[in-house]
Structure formats: structure tokens, C-alpha cells
A and B are shown apart, each in its own frame.
Chain A
Amino acid sequence: MAYEKPSAKKKQVAGKRMPKADFITSIILMAFSAFVIFESLRMPRLEHRNINPFSIPGLVPAVLGVIMGVLSIVLFIRSLRHRGYVLQTRKQATDSEGTSTSWFMKPETIRVLLTVGFCLLYAIILIGWVWYPVATFLFTFVFIVLFEYDRSKLAKQQVKMFVIATVEALLTATAVSVVFRYLFLIRLP
């Protein structure tokens, strides 16, 4: 049956790309749905208010928890079929030999962690602790310097970059603060 082939191929593609990640996410999702179902069953039934038993608040979350549970079990079984439970395949182990610290040392990972960490620092801690325009200036300036600083060159040779970063940070901080404070009448955080 010739027509079976393409579909079989398609089926293999889904789930084959990242079985390990799927394996881990499916376990997290299963735990999550179990938690949601448990919490929904624990929810008050509001009997003292004589409500219709079909309108209890926990009904829909419980149904959604069950559906999510089923979907995560399907994902779990699929990842098992693609051997997602094998934490490191032999081929990968030999590949990454010598570069065992690969994931953490990858430039992409470092860039992502730097971005997230720095944004969190600004959004959660800096704002509310330091005056908003100052916080914004600091964030913009340090962000630009962090990603544009070239370690192979002397700091002296990169004066232009520092100047541009300062000007941009000043402009951003002033413009955003003024526009939101005086034009849109919002009390700044």
C-alpha cells in the first residue's frame, strides 16, 4: 500500500525531534494536571448557598485537568517510543566528550541567561527600588554595553560605543518617563 508511506513518515517526524525534552515536559504536565484535578476536587461545593450541583466552581478546572492529563500521557507515551527516557545517548556522549560543559558554555545560552537575568533585575528589583528614570537609564546603558563590549579591544578604543550607549539610555529614560508621566498621566512605578 503505497499511500501508507508518507503518513508513516510524517508520524515519525512529530515527537522525534526532541524526545528527551518531550519526556521531561510530559512528566511536568502530568504532575500539573494531577495537581489541578486535586485542587478542583478540594474546591468548596457551596452547598450552604444551595447552588445547582452542576454549577460548582471546581467542575470546569477538573474537566480541563483531565483533558490536559490525557494529552500529557499521549506525549509521554510518544516520547517513550522515541526513547526519550535515555538521558544521554551513546552518540551524544561521544560527541560531547571534551566539551562536557557544552550547554552552559555555549555563547547562545550565555546570551539568553544574561538577557533574562538582566531584564529580571530591572523589572522586578530595580523598578520600585530606584527612581524609575534612573532605573531605566541604568538598564538601557548596561544592556547595550554588556552586549556590545568587545573584549579583544581596549576600553579606550570603544569610547564611541560608550557615548552612544549613554546618549541612547538618556533619551530612552527621559522620553519614556516624560511621555507616560505627563502625556498619558500615569504614575510611574
Chain B
Amino acid sequence: MFEGLHMLGVGLARFMNPAALFNVLWATQLGIIVGMLPGLTATMGIALLVTLTFRMPADQAVLILICMYIGSIYGGSRSAILLNIPGTPASAATAVDGHPLSRQGRAGEAIGIATTGSFLGSVIGMIMLALFTPIIGNFALNFQSIEFFWLAIFGVVISGTLTAPKDPLKGWISGFLGLMIAMIGMEGIHAHVRFSYGVVELSGGIRLIPAMVGAFGFSEVIMMMKHRSVEVIKSDIKRVIPKAKDVLKYWKTIIRSGLIGTFAGAIPGVGEDIGAWVSYDFARRASKEPEKYGHGSLEGLIASETGNNAAVGGAIIPVLSLAIPGSAPAAVLLAAMYIHGVRPGPLIMIENPQFVYSVVGMFLLATLAMYLLGLSMVRGLVKVLEVPRSKLMPVVFVLCVIGSYAVESRHFDIIIMVVFGILGYIMQELEYPIAPMVLGIILGEILDKNLRRALVVTDGDLVPFFTRPISLVLIFFILLSVFSRAHWFVVFKARMWAKVRSIFVKKRVK
């Protein structure tokens, strides 16, 4: 415990120099702007910054990326409140109550509350990050090949279920498509090159950064250009700094949303958007004034904003402890850590525990910068929202091209970016979520190596796959998430529930 605090202090002290603090400020501010602009998402912002920072020392680069991550997830609330267009998908729930507030002439108040909510959510996420990364990391040391195999399947299945709540089948298809894409290139056990068909560039596999820049950047450019732009409604922004009374009144909602957000973030491939929606939903159910929701409820606004920023901390927990990303932006962060030679995963608490606490320190700095910048320069930044899409999108595409090219200086990566952009666009049009696919691309290698290793160890016997305790827990959750939407399961659950209730009620009558 005290060792952790000591390492956090060491981590923070390392960033207490003008250069690092300057990096924190510009990266967070850039993050807020990226988040604000519809069409520029957190994932893309981080992916583009990876290329800009890959010549920096590892800790500075990761610091900048985390600032971008926190800034952009928060920044999305601006456009959600002022334009009713979530700047990033994470702010979709924010728009529901934020925009009505701005139409009532309370835009400044809404921005202040959203900023405070994001700040507190981020703080809760950070505390959970510091507490749970070592615990999960140490626990994962018990994992063997069989557990890692099930963990990969669990990640893809649960991410598919939760990112496509209306139609989980499409989520799973997307996830398994990602796993299949990961099979391209040289495999990790015998170095045999699969599915490359003589293309030399494919033998190294599909690189994550170009694929993600395409799937989240180029596809978004196409999406944005599809429709004519909407006009900006100018709203009067008065007092931004919130009243302490307004915030303290909702302390229960804040803590609840923070914990829910962190939990949602920590589930593989389930990101900030789900964190915000689930927090919002829980807050509405627990609220004393649910009728205000959707018409400008401060509580609803604070719930969704706390939820999405807490999810950032949550999403980094599995990145550090298991090397499995909790969300799409966290996937880029994971890729960036690999590029910089940091190896996250269960061994991190043994090999490099200082790094975990340095990340917590970075998180703290980014959170403070986000709060400071979020409450200042509000009026000036609103002008950014007036830039028309037709002027912004070509620049974004130019950045996508150079961003995917820059990491390895290969023209082939530009082609990968374009292919994944078109694929991502088609998937969005057909209502397939992209996040499970990205998670699949990352988990593919883990699945491939561990399934074969496990089969070698058990000599082809499948029984140990179903008898080890951790596997059983993972299988239980996989089955639960697969069948949670099935008709017979819902009926079965309702019947069981009715039975339990009838027993309980009878007892009480007696």
C-alpha cells in the first residue's frame, strides 16, 4: 500500500518539470478540441498522436496519449451540449440532458456541471486504476494457456454483446472477423506465414495503428460527408463555474456512476459510451425526479459525464494488467505502449511496477489539466464548432494518410488504412459495431498461441478446458452473455424468478 504511494510520488516527481507540464497542457487542450469536433473521435486522436510522439521517450509519449484520451472523452460533452451532436460516441448520453439545458439558456451551467462530473469521474477511475491494476495483475499470474484462451473468447463475446445491444449476433460476427484478420501474417509458434498469398508486406500481419486510423478515422470522414452539415445554434454562455451545492446534492449519483463507469470500462472492448449509458440508466432508475430526465436534468448530465470519464480509468486497468484493452482508444494506447517497448500484461507488477504508478500519476495530471482547461476558455473554443465539415474533413483525411504511413514509412499501410476505412463504413451502415473487430485483431494472437499451447500441454484432451476453476467462471460468463438475449433464456429466467418469488411470498403469508 505505502509502497504504491511511494511509487506514485516518484512517478509524479518525474513529470514535475516545465517540458512535461507543457506537454500535459497542450495535449489535453488538443484532446478537448478533438473531442469537441464531431467526426474526430478519441480513438483517432490518440492514433494520430502515436505517430507524432513515437520518437519521444516512452513516458512522455504515454503521458501525451493519456492527456489526449482524457481530454477528448471530456471534450465530446461540449458539442453534445451545444449542438446536440455528441463529439465522440461517449457523449451520446450527455446530449440527452445537456442539450435541453442549453436550449433553456443554461449552456454555461451545463458545461460547468459536465466538466465537474468528468473531473470527479476521472478521479474515481484513477483511484480504481491504482487499486485494481496490481490486484488483477497478480491474480492473472495464475492464468495459464487455457485461461488466456477463454479470456480471449470472453473478451470478443462480451464486447460483441454489449456494443451491439440490439443485435448481439452482429457484434459477435464483428469480433470473430477481427480474430480472423489477426490470423493474417506470421504465426507465433512455428513462424509459418498464413494468408499472405505472396504479398511480402502481409507477412508481418495487419498493423493495428493503420487499421484503427482507417476504421475510426477514414470511415468517420465518409460518415460525416454523407450528410450536409447542420447549422450551429448560438447559445449564450454565462457562468461556467458550477455551484458547489449543485454538485454536492448529487454525491450518490456521482459515486454510483463513477463505479459503474469504471466497471464498464474495464470489461474488454466495452468503452466509454456504454459506461455513460449504463450510468445514465441507473441514475434515472434511482432518481427522485425521473420525470426531469430528457428535459434538462442536471443529475442525468452529471451521471453520464461521470460515467464516461470513469470508464477511461477502467479501460486502462486491463491494458496494464492483462494487455487486453478495455475500449477502442485504450487499444491504441496498448499498441503505443508496445511501440515504445513497454510490455504490459500480468508480469508488469513484477517487471516494471513503477510504470503502473507512473500511469496513475499521468492520469492525475491529465485530470487536473482537463478540469482547469475545461472551465476556462469556454467561449473562445465554441468557435471551433463553427468550422464546416467540408473544410475540416480533407485535413483529417490528410492526417489519416500521413499518420498511418509515418509509423513504418510503408505505402502499404496507407492501403490498409483505406481498406479498413471502407470496411468500417460498410460495417457501420449495416449496424455492425467496430470495437469488437478491433479487440479481435488484438486478441487474435493471444487466442492462437494459447489454444495451441494448451492443446499441446493437455495432449489434445479437451476436458481440462472445462474443469479448471477460472475457466469455469469465464465459461459461465460467456454462456450468460450469449444466452442473455435468447428467447427461451428470458422465459426461463422469468419463470425461475416467479418461482422464487412465490416461495418467498408464501413464507411471508404464513
Determine if B176 and A71 form an interchain contact, defined as CB atoms under 8 angstroms apart.
yes
Contact residues of A between 144 and 189, Cβ < 8 Å to B: 144, 147-148, 164-165, 168-169, 172, 176, 180, 184-189
Determine if B401 and A123 form an interchain contact, defined as CB atoms under 8 angstroms apart.
yes
Q: Which residues of B contact A44 (CB under 8 A)?
A: 192
Q: Which residues of B contact A8 (CB under 8 A)?
A: 487
Determine if B176 and A67 form an interchain contact, defined as CB atoms under 8 angstroms apart.
yes
What are the interface flags for B469-510 relative to A under an 8 Å C-beta threshold, 1 for contact and 0 otherwise? 000000000000000010100110010001000000000000
Residue of B nearest to A43 (CB): B194
Determine if A144 and B177 form an interchain contact, defined as CB atoms under 8 angstroms apart.
no
Determine if B431 and A71 form an interchain contact, defined as CB atoms under 8 angstroms apart.
no
By secondary structure, the A interface counts as helix
Interface centre among A13, A60, A75, A186 (most CB of B within 10 A): A60
Determine if B169 and A55 form an interchain contact, defined as CB atoms under 8 angstroms apart.
no
Determine if B455 and A55 form an interchain contact, defined as CB atoms under 8 angstroms apart.
yes
Q: Determine if A116 is an interface residue (Cβ-Cβ < 8 Å).
A: yes
Q: Determine if A101 is an interface residue (Cβ-Cβ < 8 Å).
A: no
Q: Determine if B238 is an interface residue (Cβ-Cβ < 8 Å).
A: no
Determine if B194 and A57 form an interchain contact, defined as CB atoms under 8 angstroms apart.
yes
Determine if A186 and B406 form an interchain contact, defined as CB atoms under 8 angstroms apart.
yes
Determine if B452 and A59 form an interchain contact, defined as CB atoms under 8 angstroms apart.
yes
Determine if A176 and B190 form an interchain contact, defined as CB atoms under 8 angstroms apart.
no
Determine if A139 and B405 form an interchain contact, defined as CB atoms under 8 angstroms apart.
no
Determine if B221 and A115 form an interchain contact, defined as CB atoms under 8 angstroms apart.
yes
Also in contact, A144 and B394, with CB within 8 A (given A4-B491, A120-B418): yes
Among A45-53, A81-89, A90-98, the stretch that binds chain B is A45-53
Q: Determine if B466 is an interface residue (Cβ-Cβ < 8 Å).
A: no
Contact residues of A between 1 and 58, Cβ < 8 Å to B: 1, 3-4, 7-8, 10-11, 13-15, 17-18, 21-22, 25, 29, 36, 39, 43-44, 46, 49, 51-58
Interface centre among B226, B389, B485, B498 (most CB of A within 10 A): B226
Among B13-21, B369-377, B407-415, the stretch that binds chain A is B407-415
Q: Determine if B239 is an interface residue (Cβ-Cβ < 8 Å).
A: no
Q: In whole angstroms, how far apart are the Cα atoms of A52 and B457 in the complex? A: 10
Number of B interface residues in the complex (CB < 8 A):
68
Q: In whole angstroms, how far apart are the Cα atoms of A56 and B453 in the complex? A: 11
Residue of B nearest to A53 (CB): B460
Determine if B183 and A64 form an interchain contact, defined as CB atoms under 8 angstroms apart.
yes
Q: Which residues of B contact A115 (CB under 8 A)?
A: 221-222, 225-226, 393
What are the interface flags for B225-255 relative to A under an 8 Å C-beta threshold, 1 for contact and 0 otherwise? 1111000000000000000000000000000
Q: Which residues of B contact A60 (CB under 8 A)?
A: 183, 447-448, 451-452
A70 nearest CB across to chain B (Å): 10
A112 nearest CB across to chain B (Å): 5
Q: In whole angstroms, how far apart are the Cα atoms of A57 and B449 in the complex? A: 10
Q: In whole angstroms, how far apart are the Cα atoms of A52 and B452 in the complex? A: 9
Determine if A108 and B227 form an interchain contact, defined as CB atoms under 8 angstroms apart.
yes
Q: Determine if B26 is an interface residue (Cβ-Cβ < 8 Å).
A: no
Q: Which residues of B contact A11 (CB under 8 A)?
A: 485, 487
Determine if A127 and B401 form an interchain contact, defined as CB atoms under 8 angstroms apart.
yes
Determine if B173 and A72 form an interchain contact, defined as CB atoms under 8 angstroms apart.
yes
Q: Which residues of A contact B494 (CB under 8 A)?
A: 3-4
Interface centre among B390, B394, B456 (most CB of A within 10 A): B394
A59 nearest CB across to chain B (Å): 6
Q: Determine if B180 is an interface residue (Cβ-Cβ < 8 Å).
A: yes
Q: Determine if B92 is an interface residue (Cβ-Cβ < 8 Å).
A: no
A95 nearest CB across to chain B (Å): 20
Residue of A nearest to B450 (CB): A60
B193 nearest CB across to chain A (Å): 9
Q: Which residues of A contact B448 (CB under 8 A)?
A: 60
Determine if A186 and B447 form an interchain contact, defined as CB atoms under 8 angstroms apart.
no
Q: Which residues of A contact B228 (CB under 8 A)?
A: 107
Contact of A39 among B190, B195, B452 (CB under 8 A): B195
Determine if A68 and B183 form an interchain contact, defined as CB atoms under 8 angstroms apart.
no
Interface centre among A46, A136, A169 (most CB of B within 10 A): A136
B405 nearest CB across to chain A (Å): 5
Also in contact, A63 and B411, with CB within 8 A (given A136-B398, A144-B390): no
B216 nearest CB across to chain A (Å): 15
Contact of B176 among A21, A22, A64, A111 (CB under 8 A): A64
Q: Determine if B58 is an interface residue (Cβ-Cβ < 8 Å).
A: no
Contact of A186 among B168, B180, B221, B409 (CB under 8 A): B409
What are the interface flags for B361-402 relative to A under an 8 Å C-beta threshold, 1 for contact and 0 otherwise? 000000000000000000000000000111101110111011
Also in contact, A176 and B402, with CB within 8 A (given A39-B195, A74-B169, A119-B221): yes
Determine if A189 and B414 form an interchain contact, defined as CB atoms under 8 angstroms apart.
yes
Q: In whole angstroms, how far apart are the Cα atoms of A176 and B401 in the complex? A: 11
Determine if B418 and A78 form an interchain contact, defined as CB atoms under 8 angstroms apart.
no
Also in contact, A10 and B398, with CB within 8 A (given A115-B222, A123-B417): no
Contact of B422 among A43, A116, A186 (CB under 8 A): A116
Interface centre among A115, A139, A168 (most CB of B within 10 A): A115
Q: Which residues of A contact B187 (CB under 8 A)?
A: 57
Determine if A176 and B398 form an interchain contact, defined as CB atoms under 8 angstroms apart.
yes
A115 nearest CB across to chain B (Å): 4
Q: In whole angstroms, how far apart are the Cα atoms of A112 and B425 in the complex? A: 10
Q: Determine if B55 is an interface residue (Cβ-Cβ < 8 Å).
A: yes
Determine if A55 and B409 form an interchain contact, defined as CB atoms under 8 angstroms apart.
no
Q: In whole angstroms, how far apart are the Cα atoms of A12 and B120 in the complex? A: 40
Q: Determine if B459 is an interface residue (Cβ-Cβ < 8 Å).
A: yes
Also in contact, A55 and B195, with CB within 8 A (given A18-B430, A115-B221, A116-B422): no
A-B contact pairs, 19 of them (CB 8 A): A3-B498, A25-B430, A46-B192, A51-B190, A54-B460, A55-B455, A57-B190, A59-B451, A64-B176, A64-B180, A68-B180, A71-B176, A112-B225, A124-B414, A127-B411, A168-B391, A184-B55, A187-B409, A189-B411
Binding site for A on B (CB under 8 A): 51-52, 55, 166-170, 172-173, 176-177, 179-180, 183, 187, 189-190, 192, 194-195, 218, 221-222, 225-228, 388-391, 393-395, 397-399, 401-402, 405-406, 409, 411, 414-415, 417-418, 421-422, 425, 430-431, 447-448, 451-453, 455-456, 459-460, 485, 487, 490-491, 494, 498
Q: What 5 A-B pairs come out closest when comparing CB atoms? A: A147-B390, A54-B455, A143-B394, A7-B490, A3-B494
With contacts A3-B498, A58-B194 known, what are 8 further pairs, Cβ within 8 A?
A59-B452, A60-B183, A108-B227, A119-B397, A147-B390, A168-B391, A169-B394, A184-B52
